[in-house]
Amino acid sequence: MKKEYWWVIIVYIVMQFSSLVGLPILIFGFKQFDISQKLAVPVYLIASFSIALIIILLLLRKEMNTRSLDEKGTSFGYSAMWAVLGVFLALFAQYVAAIIESLLGVEMGSENTQDILKIIETLPLAILVTSIIGPILEEIVFRKIIFGALYKRYNFFISALISSVIFALAHMEPVHILLYSAMGFTFAFLYVRTNRIIVPIFAHVSMNTMVVLVQSVYKDDIERLRREAEAIQNFIGGFL
């Protein structure tokens, strides 16, 4: 593995654990300046992820300048097609995995997702991390680097399995390891299919954005439509 790739992984790991030190310091600072401490988490999240992305892009700048992040990628039209299809593939994989987890007795719903939604409610700007910055970082680290390094030595299934499990465990929700692994497999498939990291990035960003919008921004509208649908169904049922 290239030296730059190791540095990228180190930066990502440091970012993930930096909150253990940085967040308490930020909370203390907010307290001193009489700023709402509820803002500390989303502000630190935005700052840490943004700084990590900038550093990682700087580490990969030579590679991006010479041949982008990929070699011999597929045509723009073909890649665009799979980028769009990839969104639905990722959602379908997530749906199937959720059904399997339910059959195995795993409770529906993700604590990680709920925590993220609470952070966005506190500071809507945090959606930039969950919908854009986070997915870009994850695809570079877990697909471009980890999966890419494994794929040079092993077949697709083994490479996707190992990288997807690592991807799942990084979300710190082992109970939903199947759910996150299914998504990891999908994004790895898109990467291999097109040999362009931008394709799984697009699918990942789009999927995360849709989930956030459905569960936060349009939550009340969807709930209202659900109640109206139930009312209409009950009205019609009264005549049957």
**Residue 204 a catalytic site member:** no
Q: Which amino acid is at 165?
A: V
Looking at 4, 63, 171, 173, which residue is catalytic?
Answer: 171
Q: Answer for the pair 163, 147: CB distance below 8 angstroms, yes or no.
A: yes
Per the residue annotation, which of 138, 139, 176, 204 is the catalytic one? 138
Residue 139 among the catalytic residues: no
Q: Which residues are catalytic?
A: 138, 171
